[in-house]
Amino acid sequence: MKINIVSAGGKAVRLRLPNALALNDLTVGLLAKALKKRGVSIRRKTLVKIKRDIKRYTRSHKDWKWLEVTSASGDTVTMQF
């Protein structure tokens, strides 16, 4: 997973995480617990299926941008698998 943060002034921060670290069963379990605390009812099994689908999709689409946000001041955040 690549996380790129570019400020309006041109400074950039690039973080790289292995997909195995970002998308594994432990993080899915932690996400399920966090969502449950916030009142979102989603089963862990469903999250595991979503994780598998994301992994499958990213194998065939290497440059898929999962998230791309630009603020009003010009800052940009991009997450890519």
Q: Is the pLDDT of residue 8 over 90?
A: no
Collapse the DSSP code of 48 into the 3-class scheme (helix H, G, I; strand E, B; otherwise coil) and give the result. helix
H helix or E strand, kind and range, residue 15:
strand 12-16
Residues 21 and 10: their CA atoms lie apart, in Å, by 29
pLDDT of res. 69: 93
In the 8-state DSSP scheme, what is residue 66? E
Burial of 47 (0-12, 13-18, 19+ CB in 10 A): middle
Q: How many domains does the chain have?
A: 1
Q: Is the pLDDT of residue 12 over 80?
A: yes
Per-residue pLDDT reduced to its tens digit, 15-61: 988 877 778 888 888 889 999 999 998 888 999 998 889 888 888 98
Q: pTM for the full model? A: 0.66
Domain carrying residue 59: 2-80
What are the tokens at 49? Answer: 């299926």
